[in-house]
Amino acid sequence: MGRPAKLRCVTHLPTVGLFKPAGIPANALQAVRLSLEEVESIRLKDLDGLEQEDCAQQMRISRPTFHRVLESARKKVADALTNGKAIQIEGGNFELAQRLFRCSDDGHEWNVPFEAMAQKLPLSCPICFSGNIQAQPLPSFGAGRGCGRRFRGGGWWRRNT
């Protein structure tokens, strides 16, 4: 029996959990599953343009592990794009680096307990009920510190399925 996988630090949660080709019902499509750490690896490397070493440090994993996660994610995205499959984003082995949310309309900030986030991400501000909310990094998150609360498992936060 091998050792358990090290949890990867995720700092940004995607706002949607399903991408699919237009005009085809989701239940008629095959889907590839991207874990949250795979989405985070694509975000850090391909969107933010960081070097792999910096990406690995942010995710609190080794550079070779980061490379494996990134390659897996890119292969799944390529499969979905070239073969007309849906992309389902869910689960994985990760630590969540954020659970502070801010309403862009009224500036209200609030913490969402990790256990509540494991059930569902907040969809609106609890004060003005605006859906214009943004996840904020926790103030304690920084270099050399832990990433936050831990989670392993399946589709706990799917919102758009």
- Asked whether the predicted pLDDT for residue 151 surpasses 80, the reply is no
Residue 43 has what pLDDT?
Answer: 96
- Asked whether the predicted pLDDT for residue 120 surpasses 70, the reply is no
CATH pick for 99-136 out of 2.20.28.10, 1.10.1060.10, 1.10.10.1200, 2.40.10.10:
2.20.28.10
| Average pLDDT over the chain, rounded to an integer | 80
Token readout for 35 is 């874990």
Per-domain residue ranges of the chain = 1-98+147-161, 99-136
Residue 89 has what pLDDT?
Answer: 92
Task: Give the range among 7-16, 51-60, 117-126 with minimum mean pLDDT.
Answer: 117-126
Task: Give the range among 68-72, 102-106, 134-138 with minimum mean pLDDT.
Answer: 134-138
Give the number of residues written for the chain: 161
Token readout for 151 is 């989670």
- pTM to 2 decimal places: 0.64
Residue 114 has what pLDDT?
Answer: 55
Beta strands in 35-108 (DSSP E): 86-89, 92-96, 100-103
Over residues 27-65, the pLDDT tens digits come to 999 999 999 999 999 999 999 999 999 999 989 899 999
Residue 3 has what pLDDT?
Answer: 78
Q: How far is CA 17 from CA 3, 35, 41, 108, 127, in A?
A: 29, 10, 16, 25, 25
